[in-house]
Structure 1
Amino acid sequence: MENVRINTKAVVSSLQIKKTSVRWKTVIPILLLVWIVNMLDKIGVGIIATNKTFLIDMHLTNNPALVGTLVSALLFSYGIGFFFWGPLVDKFGAKRCGCIALFLWGLSTGIAALAPNFTVLLISRIILGVSEAALWPLSNSLTARWFPLSERGRAKSFWINGTIIGPAISGFVIDFLLEIFNWRGVFWSLTFLAIVVCLPLFGFILKESPTDDKRVSPEELHYIESDQLTYPSSNNSSNNGVLKSLSFWMVVLTNTATLFAFFGLATWFPSYLSIAKHFSRQATSYYMLLAYGISIFVVIYTGRQIDKTRKKAIWGLRSFWGIATCFILAALIDSVMVDVLLVCLAIVMVNITTLISHGITHSLSVTNRIGRENALMMGIASILSAFGPTIMGALIKVGNGTYLYSFMFLVVVSILASGCFIVLKRRGY
């Protein structure tokens, strides 16, 4: 049975919407903060891996493929975790699942801080991956429950910016913590952020839906509920419709390509700057801030545009074309500064593709099933892309420390993803 979009614009326009805006003042800031901490957890190890003491303690010196394994193990367990968290979020709610996930990932970084060897550190990353897998389905579920379709592009652009702000500030934050403490102190700090800061916000401030929050006015509630994607009948049991859709599987593939590029660059961009291009740690942090800082504004702009036009695939298509072009030019132009700026531009466009892939899922999935369907997309994509950082690390080793082969790998991935977005564009997305 086809999904029906309920959109009573005439009724909404006749109402004077009381500007309580709880969805913008509470839900978005909490999700944004949790996503920033989430990304510090995920990619912080890539920056910590530039610390000589850490490399010596974990016996990782001159072994980039093994460093990449730390990220790949996280991504693989991350992918597995989605298959559990998606149905759990739809059944028990995003708030409850978020509290459990935050406790588990705080526990995992605590284990990392105590790790006596690489094996224990690897186990901690696996636990982190499983626990943080809850965040995509619960964030999309909260967005679907708290925002009308006409606002979801902008809403997602704000909390997805957490995946950008985290990397943007990670160089400064992790370096600062390394100077004050040591690499173990960095992991203890991440534990503090998860357990002491984020967990209470989810447990005591965030509500499952606007109907549960007394601060939401009847006008705001009506505005939210008047523009939702739902089944014509609550008794509809067609659970597999989206799974039989070619569009859904195209989005799975585009998101896989995004994760290949995102985590590959998040893992190796710091080393690319500090080792391959011989930049100082401070300069490395500034270039990371440049790449991810520009992304923040570009993603917000893109979110506003797709809310206006309802056309998403064209943005993904242009972005992947741009990513491939940047890496090809970086390989052809013999200039350190130009190469670095081209990689920074590629990172900006990778972040656009994240917004687009998740935006299309909101055009495919109904509100009460978006948790599991988004989790299925992310689970498959994460498992397929889990070996990306390890592959890039191995290609760096094959290239005797140069990044040419690893960047060409991302060119191929981007070209394949462009083909998927062409299909989605022709199907009206």
Structure 2
Amino acid sequence: MPQPSHSSPADPTRQVGAPATANTSTARRSNARYQILGLLAVGTMINYLDRTVLGIAAPQLTKELGINAAMMGLLFSVFSWSYVASQIPGGLFLDRFGSKLTYFLSMTFWSLCTLAQGLVHGIAGLFVFRLGLGVSEAPCFPTNSRVVATWFPQSERAMATGTYTVGEYIGLAFFSPFLFMLMGAFGWRSLFYVVGGVGIVFGGIWWLMYREPRDHPSANQAELDYIEAGGGLTQRHRAAASTEAAPAKSGFEWRTIGRLLKHRQLTGICLGQFAGNSTLVFFLTWFPTYLATERHMGWLKIGFFAIMPFIAASVGVMFGGLFSDWLLRRGKSANVARKLPIIAGLLLASTIILANYVESNVAVIAILSVAFFAQGMAALGWTLVSDIAPEGLLGVTGGIFNFAANLAGIVTPLVVGFIVAATGSFVGALVFIGVVALIGALSYIFIVGDIKRIVLVD
């Protein structure tokens, strides 16, 4: 027998704060949260395609526009200048205006900036639109974290975080061959037109489909009770659920940032995420150029080999999230369940240095795939943000975390670019990536401490 609809305004089970009735308490739980998770996963995939399409276009673009390695490193880096600078304002905007509007505006504007990059004829245009891309993408991951904290109980948050995070890798894994073929047939500008256009379309889909839990037509009371029992639907979310679009003061003061950073949990995971992002940024920016110049591969070969590390990273993300949630369900503490996959991943990611000591292209790709798999395992930082953020300050806490983590987007492309320009080789660049990953593992071991919600005391 089909389940009765719970979307009618007259249905008391749809009223905010209404207790579960006998019928809803025994009803089969709906799974509307997985529909929302699907939206996050697609949005994150588009997000990373937009920010990394320049890396795919780079080998051809640099020849046409006459850009050297050091300048290309600057162009890779400039995205993160505005991205990092916009994290805290983006978090404040999110806390004030909510997830639906923030994500819609963010995706629409970043997609327009991507499309515009295909129209440029010099470095200045790329510089301007990469800055715009960074500003527009800044609220994305704080919004992802807020949606997961709202829609998922704690026992499923690592799985949810891993699922949308896999979008970072899966899009590049499966679309890289198509994008390289597209570039070979129509030139590098076509990449920006296609990827930007897809993002604009999906922005409209997000606006039409996203709802808060108590406003979602497919979420029944049994699912809402399940989410709330597991720590979702916080008091702030319950109060704001039906008025998501109405502005509300977040109670933010600038001194709150300093108060948050005094807690070792936040400073430690920020340093650890910087380390993990350094590996990620290398693959998202310099990896195709590494294969083309250091390993002397052709376009089709690059498209084929580029799949492998991204598939490995996708598996690593899912494995890390599922393993973390499994440990939590088995009674392990949050310290063990959340930190163990990250520490193991960062330690294993440092083995990227071994690629300097093998000749075979197959062996190189195997080493890089293991390192990227490990980085994927370590991509659970946003789950910890959900676990430690003070009540009502998830957007700001996420903004601080993303600010620190994405300093890697500024530092890593520049360091790699200058190393390659100075030495004519990627050997030193891979050593840099490996050492930073090792430092990140030590941060989680010695700095982070207990995983618990931060309480700010006046």
Q: Does 1:420 align with 2:458?
A: no
CA distance in 1, matches of 2:410, 2:133: 14
CA distance in 1, matches of 2:356, 2:273: 25
Asked whether the 8 Å contact 2:318–2:377 carries over to 1, the reply is no
Choose 279-288 or 413-422, whichever is displaced more: 279-288
Given candidates 380, 385, 389, the residue that maps to 2:404 is: 380
Asked whether the 8 Å contact 1:89–1:97 carries over to 2, the reply is yes
CA distance in 2, matches of 1:238, 1:50: 45
Q: Does 1:201 align with 2:219?
A: no
Asked whether the 8 Å contact 2:30–2:219 carries over to 1, the reply is yes
TM-score by length of 1: 0.88
CA distance in 2, matches of 1:385, 1:187: 20
Q: Does 1:251 align with 2:275?
A: no
Partner of 1:159: 164
Q: Does 1:91 align with 2:96?
A: yes
Partner of 1:407: 430
Structure 2 residue identity aligned to 1:368: G
Partner of 2:54: 45
Would you say how many aligned residue pairs link Structure 1 and Structure 2? 408
Q: Does 1:315 align with 2:341?
A: yes
Asked whether the 8 Å contact 1:327–1:411 carries over to 2, the reply is yes
Partner of 1:55: 62
Asked whether the 8 Å contact 1:323–1:349 carries over to 2, the reply is yes
Q: Deviations 1:41-90 (Å, cap 9, x if unpaired)?
A: 11111110122xx2244221xx1121121220001111112111111111
- State the superposition RMSD in angstroms: 2.6
CA distance in 1, matches of 2:322, 2:364: 30
| 1:361–1:424 distance in 2 versus 1, CA, 3 Å | farther
* Structure 2 SS opposite 1:228: coil
Given candidates 372, 377, 381, the residue that maps to 1:357 is: 381
Asked whether the 8 Å contact 1:94–1:138 carries over to 2, the reply is yes
Cα deviation, residue 184, structure 1: 1.9
* Structure 1 SS opposite 2:59: coil
Cα deviation, residue 231, structure 1: 7.9
Counting only pairs closer than 5 Å after superposition, residues 11-410 of structure 1 correspond to structure 2 as: 15-16=25-26, 18-24=28-34, 26-51=35-60, 54-60=61-67, 63-196=68-201, 198-207=202-211, 209-228=212-231, 240=256, 242-310=260-328, 311-324=337-350, 326-354=351-379, 356-366=380-390, 368-383=392-407, 385-400=409-424, 402-410=425-433
CA distance in 1, matches of 2:220, 2:130: 42
* Structure 1 SS opposite 2:378: helix
CA distance in 2, matches of 1:329, 1:117: 37
CA distance in 2, matches of 1:390, 1:362: 31
Asked whether the 8 Å contact 2:282–2:413 carries over to 1, the reply is yes
Cα deviation, residue 331, structure 1: 2.9
Partner of 1:7: none
Partner of 1:3: none
Q: Deviations 1:7-47 (Å, cap 9, x if unpaired)?
A: xxxx99x94352320110x2111111111111111111111
CA distance in 1, matches of 2:126, 2:267: 34
Cα deviation, residue 141, structure 1: 0.7
Unmatched runs of 5 consecutive residues or more in structure 1: 1-10
Cα deviation, residue 367, structure 1: 5.9
| 1:108–1:426 distance in 2 versus 1, CA, 3 Å | closer
| 1:246–1:205 distance in 2 versus 1, CA, 3 Å | same
* Structure 1 SS opposite 2:392: helix
CA distance in 2, matches of 1:58, 1:168: 27
CA distance in 2, matches of 1:290, 1:265: 12
* Structure 2 SS opposite 1:297: helix
Q: Deviations 1:347-367 (Å, cap 9, x if unpaired)?
A: 11112222x212211220146
Unmatched runs of 5 consecutive residues or more in structure 2: 1-20, 240-249, 329-336, 453-458
* Structure 1 SS opposite 2:26: coil
| 1:102–1:45 distance in 2 versus 1, CA, 3 Å | same
CA distance in 1, matches of 2:339, 2:207: 36
Cα deviation, residue 307, structure 1: 1.1
* Structure 1 SS opposite 2:128: helix
CA distance in 1, matches of 2:74, 2:359: 31
Cα deviation, residue 206, structure 1: 0.9
Q: Deviations 1:96-149 (Å, cap 9, x if unpaired)?
A: 011111221122123212212110111101100110111101111111111111
CA distance in 2, matches of 1:205, 1:327: 41
Cα deviation, residue 378, structure 1: 0.4
Asked whether the 8 Å contact 1:242–1:364 carries over to 2, the reply is no
Asked whether the 8 Å contact 1:17–1:220 carries over to 2, the reply is no
